[in-house]
Chain A
Amino acid sequence: MNAPVTNEVSQNLATYNFAYLDEQTKRMIRRAILKGIAVPGYQVPFASREMPMPYGWGTGGVQVTAAIIGSEDVLKVIDQGADDTTNAVSIRAFFAKTAGVATTTATPDATIIQTRHRIPETPLTAGQVLVYQVPIPEPLRFLEPRETETRKMHALEEYGLMHVKLYEDIARNGHIATTYAYPVKVEGRYVMDPSPTPKFDNPKMHQSEALQLFGAGREKRIYAIPPHTEVVSLDFEDHPFEIQHFDQPCAMCGAEQVYLDEVVLDDKGGRMFVCSDTHHCESRQAEGHRGALLGDDASTGKEATR
Chain B
Amino acid sequence: MSHSDTLEALAAAGIPAPVKPLLSVEGLTRVYGKRIGCADVSFDLWPGEVLAIVGESGSGKTTLLNCISSRLTPTCGTVHYRMRDGASADFYKMAEAERRYLMRTDWGFVHQNPIDGLRMTVSAGANVGERLMAVGNRHYGNIRNTAIEWLSRVEIDEDRVDDQPRTFSGGMRQRLQIARNLVTEPRLVFMDEPTGGLDVSVQARLLDLLRGLVSDLGLAVIVVTHDLAVARLLSDRMIVMKEGRVIEAGLTDRVLDDPRAPYTQLLVSSILQV
Contacts and interface: CB of A to CB of B under 8 A. Distances in A.
Interface in B104-129: 104, 119, 122-123, 125-126, 129
A238 interface: yes
Interface string B207-225: 0000000000000000000
A161 B130 contact: yes
B135 interface: yes
A143 B134 CA distance: 14
Given A238-B139, A238-B141, A171 B126 contact: yes
A34 B162 CA distance: 44
B123 A160 contact: no
B100 A158 contact: yes
Contacts of B129: 164, 167
Contacts of A158: 100, 134
A49 interface: no
B148 to A, nearest CB: 11
A181 to B, nearest CB: 18
A171 B143 CA distance: 11
A172 interface: yes
A9 B192 CA distance: 69
A160 B135 contact: yes
A8 to B, nearest CB: 57
Contact of A160 (B97, B130, B139, B162): B130
Contact of B140 (A152, A165, A170, A172): A170
Contacts of A156: 96-97, 100
Interface string A202-237: 000000000000000000000000000000000111
B138 interface: yes
Contacts of A109: none
B267 to A, nearest CB: 38
Interface in B158-177: 161-162
B204 interface: no
A171 B123 contact: yes
Contact of A171 (B104, B130, B138, B144): B144
Interface string B182-195: 00000000000000
B126 A167 contact: yes
Contact of A168 (B96, B104, B126, B141): B126
A170 B143 CA distance: 12
B242 interface: no
Nearest to B163: A171
A243 B126 CA distance: 24
A160 B138 CA distance: 9
B31 interface: no
Contacts of A143: 119
A167 B125 contact: yes
B13 to A, nearest CB: 40
Contacts of A235: 138
A171 B140 CA distance: 9
B166 to A, nearest CB: 14
Given A156-B97, A158-B100, A167 B140 contact: yes
B143 A167 contact: yes
Nearest to B161: A171
B138 A163 contact: yes
Given A160-B130, A160-B135, A164-B130, A239 B100 contact: no
A171 B125 contact: yes
B133 A167 contact: yes
Nearest to A239: B140
B139 A236 contact: yes
A240 B130 CA distance: 19
B100 to A, nearest CB: 6
B157 to A, nearest CB: 16
A160 B184 CA distance: 14
Interface of B: 96-97, 100, 104, 119, 122-123, 125-126, 129-131, 133-135, 138-141, 143-144, 161-162
Interface of A: 143, 152, 156-158, 160-161, 163-165, 167-168, 170-172, 235-239
Given A167-B125, A238-B140, 12 more contacts: A152-B96, A158-B100, A164-B126, A164-B130, A164-B133, A168-B122, A171-B123, A171-B126, A236-B140, A237-B140, A238-B141, A239-B140
14 contacts: A143-B119, A152-B96, A156-B100, A157-B97, A158-B100, A160-B130, A161-B134, A163-B133, A163-B138, A164-B133, A167-B125, A167-B129, A237-B140, A239-B140
